[in-house]
Amino acid sequence: MRIGEVAAQAGVSVRALRYYEQQDLLHSSRNPGGQRRYADGAVERVRLIQQLYSVGLTSRTIREVLPFADAGAPPPELLALLAAERDRLDQQMTDLRDKRRRLHNCMTEAREHDGTGS
For Cα atoms 105, 110, 113, give the angle at the middle one, nearest 5 degrees. 125
Name the band, by pLDDT with cuts 50, 70 and 90, for residue 13.
very high
Encoded amino acid at 21, one letter: E
**Is residue 109 predicted with pLDDT exceeding 90?**
yes
**Is residue 76 predicted with pLDDT exceeding 90?**
no
Name the band, by pLDDT with cuts 50, 70 and 90, for residue 118.
low
Burial label, 50 (beta-carbon count in 10 A; 0-12, 13-18, 19+): middle
Report DSSP state, residue 41. Answer: T
- Name which of 50, 57, 54, 49 is nearest 85 in CA terms: 57
Name the band, by pLDDT with cuts 50, 70 and 90, for residue 22.
very high
Q: What is the pTM of this model?
A: 0.73
Report the alpha-carbon distance of residue 42 to residue 88 in Å, rounded. 29
What is the per-residue pLDDT for 116? 60
pLDDT in tens, 29-62: 999 999 999 999 999 999 999 999 998 889 999 9
Report the alpha-carbon distance of residue 44 to residue 11 in Å, rounded. 11
Encoded amino acid at 84, one letter: A
**Is residue 96 predicted with pLDDT exceeding 80?**
yes
